[in-house]
Each structure stands twice: as C-alpha cells, then as structure tokens.
C-alpha cells in the first residue's frame, strides 16, 4: 500500500494506524508526480490518496487508473460532498473515505479495496444509487451496450454489490439461493456489458444523477 498526503505528519499518522492493524505500507508520497513514481516502483494493491494532494486528486486518480489499473485508488477526504465523490468515481476511484474514519474501519476498508471491493460509506452508496429505486419494472441505465432496463430484483442485487456484499450476503439478504444470487449478478454484468461485478457497480455510480 502507498499513502499520499500533502501533510507529512498526517501521512505518518495514517501509516502508523494501518501498520498497527497489519497492513504493509510500501511507500509514501506528497504530490501526484511522486505518487506515480512510488506506485511504478512498488506496484501496490492500494493507493490511499489525500484529497489535498497537488495538483488535484481527481487528475491524479485518473492518471493512476490509466497507468496502474490493478492498483485501487481510494480518496481520503475531510468531507464527503456528493459532487466530489462523483468526480472521484468518474476518474476511476475504487473508494472514497472520510478522514475521521476510525482506524480499524479504515484498515478494513482498504483491505476490501485491495481485494477488489468498492469502498464507500453506506450513506454515499445509497445517495449515488438513489435513482435505481424506481417503481415498476426497474430502472433504465446507460451502458456500453446502450440503454438497458434492470429489473427491481437486479436493482436490489446491484445495491448490495455496491456495499461489497458477497454471493452469500446477497442470498441471505434477499432470501434467495446462492445459485440464484450468482445468476442475478451474471445477468446484471451481461446486460451492462461489464466484465465483473465491480465494473458493473462503478458503471452505475459514474452516471448517477449527482450534480
């Protein structure tokens, strides 16, 4: 893991927090160029990127996502404004966490990001996916394959996926079998033209109607 923070003292405090919970911090950076260089050298699973890192966290996130697609970029910010989160997601961020996140929760979230999970607060996940709660047959979503309609059940599954739910979690939450849960996940990915569950979630988050 690499930590990027404009304030060295803050970065050092976060490093101590994560190492106390068993995470390995392989590098630190204080600006975008340094972060890209450290990432190229260490190839971490996750980059925890302070929102104040110059020149700006959105352009840095986009550069990280383009050059190192296997490295999860997680933005670490003092606030959780809808527009800021949306810009980060569109740039390729796999997560967005507030600086007041408890140490143990931060370590757990970053471990999830390293394992391919999208890490957002429950409030933000609900906010970004609020347009997928419509009545009737479900919701219409833009995808690489054009506009597609998700059933109400598929919307429920997608919302659980955005909360990093596993197949077993989905089955338990919706009172369906694991086989049915896996089929719903596969159908969602197929409809959206997404290669995997994480990509399906990011596709919908990136077009959410947050101004």
CATH number at residue 137: 1.10.10.10
Query: 43-67: per-residue pLDDT in tens?
Result: 999 999 999 999 999 999 999 988 9
Nearest-angstrom CA–CA distance, 96 and 128: 12
Comparing 9-18, 112-121, 134-143, the range with the smallest average pLDDT is 134-143
Are 17 and 112 in a shared domain? yes
Residue 206's pLDDT is: 66
To 10 degrees, what angle do helices 152-162 and 178-192 make? Answer: 90
Domain finish residue from 119, 136, 156 = 119
Q: Does residue 211 sit within a domain? A: no
Q: Does residue 76 sit within a domain? A: yes
Are 42 and 75 in a shared domain? yes
CATH number at residue 72: 3.40.50.2300
Q: Does residue 196 sit within a domain? A: yes
14-20 average pLDDT score: 94
Query: 125-169: per-residue pLDDT in tens?
Result: 666 665 444 444 456 777 777 778 888 888 889 888 887 889 999
Are 111 and 140 in a shared domain? no
- With contact defined as beta carbons under 8 Å apart, do 47 and 35 qualify? yes
Are 135 and 78 in a shared domain? no
19-46 average pLDDT score: 95
Comparing 42-56, 64-78, 87-101, 113-127, the range with the smallest average pLDDT is 113-127
Show the domain range for 92.
2-119
Residue 211's pLDDT is: 29
Q: 21-25, 141-145, 201-205: which has the highest mean pLDDT?
A: 21-25
Are 112 and 134 in a shared domain? no
Q: Does residue 89 sit within a domain? A: yes
Domain finish residue from 90, 119, 148 = 119
Comparing 31-40, 55-64, 109-118, 143-152, the range with the smallest average pLDDT is 143-152
The total domain count for the chain is 2
With the C-alpha atoms ordered 80, 86, 87, 90, is the resulting torsion angle positive or negative?
positive
192 exposure class (CB count in 10 Å sphere: 0-12, 13-18, 19+): buried
Residue 150's pLDDT is: 84
Residue 94 has pLDDT above 90, yes or no: no
76-90 average pLDDT score: 81
Domain finish residue from 74, 92, 119 = 119
Are 64 and 17 in a shared domain? yes
């Amino acid at each position: 893991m690499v930590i990027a923070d404009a304030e060295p003292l803050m970065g050092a405090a976060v490093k101590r927090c994560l190492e106390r919970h068993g995470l390995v911090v392989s590098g630190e950076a204080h600006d975008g160029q340094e972060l890209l260089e450290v990432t190229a050298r260490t190839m971490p699973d996750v980059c925890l990127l302070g929102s104040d890192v110059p020149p700006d966290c959105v352009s840095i996130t986009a550069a990280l996502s383009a050059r190192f697609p296997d490295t999860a970029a997680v933005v670490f910010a003092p606030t959780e404004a809808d527009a800021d989160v949306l810009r980060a997601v569109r740039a390729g961020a796999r997560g967005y966490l507030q600086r007041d996140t408890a140490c143990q929760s931060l370590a757990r979230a970053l471990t999830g990001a390293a394992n391919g999970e999208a890490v957002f607060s429950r409030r933000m996940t609900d906010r970004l996916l609020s347009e997928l709660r419509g009545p009737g047959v479900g919701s219409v979503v833009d995808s690489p394959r054009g506009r597609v309609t998700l059933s109400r059940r598929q919307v429920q599954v997608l919302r659980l996926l955005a909360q990093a739910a596993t197949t077993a979690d989905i089955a338990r939450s919706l009172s369906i079998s694991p086989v049915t849960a896996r089929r719903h996940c596969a159908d969602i990915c197929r409809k959206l033209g997404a290669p995997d569950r994480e990509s399906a979630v990011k596709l919908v988050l990136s077009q959410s109607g947050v101004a």
